[in-house]
Amino acid sequence: MPKHIGIIMDGNGRWASERGLPRTEGHVAGAKVFRRISDYCHEIGIDVVTFYAFSTENWRRPPTEVAALMKLFKENLIEADEIKYDRQKGGYILRFIGDTSAIPNELQKLVSKTQLDAIDENTTVINIALNYGGRQEILHSVKQIAERVERGELKASKITAEDIAAGLYTAGQPDPDLIIRPSGELRLSNFLTYQSAYSELYFSNVLWPDFTTDDLDEAILDYAKRNRRFGGV
Ligand code: IPE
Ligand code: IPE
Ligand code: MG
């Protein structure tokens, strides 16, 4: 079983277009699938699941679509807070990764509230990548290291790969074992760039709003057959 699964929730727009609906309806349908898959990952005992919800490049979309997405994130967070996924119901907690300083204020407040929820060994951590970019994340970590060097706390020759990892948003979490991308695109689109060095990749043609727990099972079964060598023999 993978300990950490990354999921690129892609294909919402195409799903809506196929039905003659506005793209935002695809995002609404995609958010429901996000909740279903989160519940299921907790049921089957996955430790960490990272969902790619909004990339640093997604600001290039029309302002109306961006606004609709932010509204949807807010509604989902309020709902998550009301039913207390973390303790009583779902047994999972939400964490946010990405530069959340650039998202609307109201959403920022909800995000910081979730960061207070405690983790125990039965909790599934659901990372939501919001205004997330893998390159930007590495840059953010490198700047922190450079500041330590400037202050004379660290010698440049002593910087390790662990120092870089420790400055990432996922610090302390295992790297993703499996990254799933539905919708037929064969790329990572700036998702978990540093952490995915040895991830197993799984691509599927299903559009995210159509993605089911059976599709997830299929991906995990495929993963179980892989031979991970990490450079060894
Ligand atoms: C993923 O679906 C959702 C976000 C990127 C926020 P898309 O909106 O990218 O859907 P397609 O790729 O256009 O079908
Ligand atoms: C990746 O999907 C980002 C998210 C799913 C949030 P995109 O739809 O933005 O990726 P590209 O543009 O096809 O690479
Ligand atoms: Mg897309």
- The CA–CA distances, whole Å, from 115 to 85, 124, 129, 153, 230 equal 13, 14, 14, 28, 33
Distance 216 CA to ligand 1 centre (A): 19
Which residue's alpha carbon is nearest to atom 10 within ligand 2?
189
Task: Report the CATH number at residue 180.
Answer: 3.40.1180.10
Sign of CA dihedral 162, 166, 172, 173: negative
What is the C-alpha to C-alpha distance for residues 58 and 128, in angstroms, rounded to an integer?
15
Half-sphere exposure of 130 (CA within 13 A, CB side): 23
CB of 178 within 8 A of CB of 219? yes
**Structural domains in the chain (count):** 1
- The reply to whether 10 belongs to the active site is yes
Q: Any idea what DSSP says for residue 114?
A: H
- State residue 86's pLDDT score: 47
28 φ, ψ to 5°? -60, -45
Instruction: For residue 232, tell me if it sits in a domain.
Output: no
Q: Would you call 54 exposed, middle or buried from its count of C-beta atoms within 10 A (0-12, 13-18, 19+)?
A: buried
Instruction: For residue 169, tell me if it sits in a domain.
Output: no
Instruction: For residue 138, tell me if it sits in a domain.
Output: no
The rounded radius of gyration (Å) of the Cα atoms in the chain is 18
* Token pair listed for 148: 């330590």
- The reply to whether 58 belongs to the active site is yes
Instruction: For residue 102, tell me if it sits in a domain.
Output: yes
Q: Which residues contact 20 (CB under 8 A, 6 or more apart)?
A: none
* Token pair listed for 155: 């010698």
Instruction: For residue 48, tell me if it sits in a domain.
Output: yes
172 φ, ψ to 5°? 90, -10
Q: Any idea what DSSP says for residue 206?
A: S
Instruction: For residue 167, tell me if it sits in a domain.
Output: no
Give the structural domain span for 97. 4-133+174-224
Distance 18 CA to ligand 3 centre (A): 14
Among residues 209, 202, 207, the alpha carbon closest in space to that of 186 is found at: 202
Instruction: For residue 210, tell me if it sits in a domain.
Output: yes
User: For ligand 2, which residues put their CB under 6 angstroms from it?
Assistant: 8-10, 52-55, 58, 185, 187, 189
Instruction: For residue 163, tell me if it sits in a domain.
Output: no
Output the furthest CA–CA distance in the chain (Å, rounded): 60
- State residue 26's pLDDT score: 98
Residue 9 Cβ inside 6 Å of ligand 1? The answer reads: yes
List the pLDDT tens digit at each of the 233 positions of the chain.
Answer: 999 999 999 999 999 999 999 999 999 999 999 999 998 999 999 999 999 999 999 999 999 999 999 999 999 888 776 655 544 455 778 889 999 999 999 899 888 887 777 667 778 899 999 999 999 999 999 999 999 999 999 999 999 999 999 999 999 999 999 999 999 999 999 999 999 999 999 999 999 999 999 999 999 999 999 999 999 99
Count of Cβ atoms closer than 10 Å to residue 9 Cβ: 24
Instruction: Indicate the pTM of the whole model.
Output: 0.95
